[in-house]
Amino acid sequence: RHADRSAERLRQAWSAAAPTASPTGAASTAAPPPYDAGGGIGFLHVPALGAGYQVLVKVGADENTLADGVAGVYTAPYPSAMPWDAQGNFALAAHRDGHGAKFHDLDRLKPGDPLVVETRDRWYVYRVDATLPETSKYDTGVIAPVPTGSPYAEPGRYITLTTCTPVYTSLYRMAVWGSLVREEPMDPGRTPPAELR
Active site positions, annotated: 164
Name which of 69, 41, 183 is nearest 126 in CA terms: 183
- CA atoms of 97 and 163, how far apart (whole Å): 9
- Peptide linkage before 77 cis (omega within 30 of 0): yes
The set of residues, in sequence order, having a beta carbon less than 8 Å from that of 194 and lying 6+ positions away, is: none
CA torsion, ordered 192, 195, 196, 197, to nearest 10 deg: 90
User: ∠ CA(39), CA(41), CA(43), 5° rounding?
Assistant: 110
CB atoms within 10 A of CB 26: 10
Q: How many CB atoms lie within 10 A of CB 105?
A: 16
Rounded Cα gap, residues 186 and 50, in angstroms: 23
Q: Which helix (H) or strand (E) holds 11?
A: helix 2-16
Quickly count: other Cβ atoms within 10 Å of residue 153's Cβ: 7
